[in-house]
Structure 1
């Protein structure tokens, strides 16, 4: 079970939250949308934040990019009431450039490496080398990857780096919205890759390892306050809490590499 350590790791950060929003301020609903890569860390830390602040986090989930209805840009297009977004850094920067987020509110939370998985109990390919990864792709009957940052990298760059784009035509598929791990667990693919933090919570799969360093891509996850948010100061307090060094261990437990740990 993840984190008996949460209770201890969050204590110092809780004081910061109380000071930031003021102990006498009435509680409020804070609307947050997180993409999958940071979702488990956010879930694990949401309870301590709610208890310390008195606020209620109204949470929703969606990809940082893509054309699905739940994608964060699509939610903003519809005018959903959102105070905070947590998403892939590059996609967040694009929304910031478009004027949809509060200038200066971006907080870098973690970096996320890509890992690969097979169905639970299946033979585990050795992907510790570039050639081993290449063979794992080639030997798989069907390969799945996401429609967000990791999948875009696999589709646009990794297959070329491995020299297997042509061989993978027809048996490698980009999966919209559904987590890659669930596709593997249900037997719809026998090998797949996604952010390690998105694979870890999925039952029925075995994570076989990270992409080799030579072809690894670490994705930055950041949060920001939405332009016109109803609770901008509370939104900033939440982001400071999530980025607090005392919460680095909780973030790391989900498969991410916390930025706060380096400070």
Structure 2
């Protein structure tokens, strides 16, 4: 029981800490850790089985909070002090997770060659986002409206839920990335509260969409996820 809690808690720490690192997708981390689908089911079906889902979500959420506040600074140091080593470790984890993902899909659905089309399409989208990120400049401001920060949080949730989609890119496009980093490091609540409100609303919306697709097009959706997951390698590699 305690061992299981600590394992899930440590997963939460990694997800939380990874959420503030440039180029790291929380969705990809969930895929690598093998909890992506289970996490979506637990959030959306929380009131169906409160006790069971709470036991799973509490260590994940509490670990993520601690990961952001405490261990995030440690991982940020490692990320910037040893960027090449850190990124190659993460690339290795991504590549190592792909065979398991394919095996999981094959347990529920027979492989069909056309599934690879979904992988190549999502991989192409991920590569396009990398190119887009390299061409934009960071815009920053010290003042944002409450509504704008809610919208920013909603948009950011796409990068949290969809593997391989960079939250960093989304925040850069909206011009709030630098303020986001400052607010996380200083726990600046006037910025973080509306951002988190939007993030929560957006996460529920994108999880519902993902859940719908997994229920009706399981294999196709997972091959899209595999493409985005592979695409996250291209997010990291240009920065090595």
TM-score (norm 1): 0.24
Structure number with higher strand proportion: 1
TM-score (norm 2): 0.25
Structure number with higher helix proportion: 2
Point out the structure with max Rg over C-alpha: 1
